[in-house]
Amino acid sequence: MLSETKQLHLIPPVDVALMFHIHAQFPDVFYQDLVALFGDKDARDLLDFSILDADVGYYQRDIDPESEAAWESYTGEPYLYHHATAATAYMLSCPACSTIQSVGQDDIVQLKTQVCDLKCPTCDRQSTLEQLRVNNRGIAPFHVNFIHQAPAWRARMSKLLNEASKVVPDAASAKYEQYARLTVDVVQNGTSTLYSIVDLDQHIYAGHAAHLLFPGPYRRMSSMRLLVAMN
């Protein structure tokens, strides 16, 4: 929707915002997914969109009428999606013989978590998730496993929020910059060892988490620093 309308000020539904947060935690994959969907130019434009540019207060107050109208007009779905009443099955087409079959949510979860392939009731072909994506647009073409990553992301955010009172923004910014410089120094020294952000203190973790939500500037900074390191 953002790619086609160019209305980057629109506020996404809260469940979409959650998926954006998770997708942004994998900046290289995020960029490649956007390029695959929209091409390099539009992908770069979308990288300059940040969920933090939206008025997050709308998630606590009223719904933004313009965003709601644009979302419902484009998708045909309600802005506030009631997952308990959502469709419980997907209609998927077999890549081999085009037979349409109803696939329940539990089977979709197993497909997305690579527990099984989907067998066609007509031709008996077993299709992987990637094969099904070719002619089934309803399966999101993203290379992040949101089913697996959502609980992990919630756990990390819960830990961060529990210690948020201890995080001083100025200190977080300064310590995160030191960490970013340290990762470049490690590359310059010719070693493949990088420190895990999870093992560092909450100031650095908070800075990193916030930076990832600005994917365009994050990618430019990372590319510039790594280019300097490689040269």
- Residue spans of the domains in the chain: they are 2-82, 84-134, 163-230
Question: For 26-33, what is the mean pLDDT?
Answer: 86
pLDDT of 159 reads 77
pLDDT at 230 over 50: no
Using CA atoms of 209, 213, 218, 222 in order, give the dihedral in degrees to the nearest 10. 40
* Identity of the highest mean pLDDT range in 76-80, 112-116, 148-152, 162-166: 148-152
Tens digits of residue pLDDT in 47-57: 877 766 665 55
- What is the overall mean pLDDT for the chain? 75
- Burial (CB count <10 Å: 0-12, 13-18, 19+), residue 104: exposed
Residues 6+ apart with CB under 8 A from 133: 139, 141
- Distance, CA of 48 to CA of 115 (rounded, Å): 36
Q: Cβ atoms within 10 A of the Cβ of 210, count?
A: 16
Helix, strand, or coil (residue 100): strand
Q: What is the average per-residue pLDDT within 1-26?
A: 81
**DSSP state, 224?**
H
The residue-averaged pLDDT of 118-127 equals 92
25 token code pair? 């935690």
Q: What's the pTM?
A: 0.68
**Over residues 205-210, mean pLDDT:** 75
Instruction: Please determine, for residue 117, whether its predicted confidence score (pLDDT) is greater than 50.
Output: yes
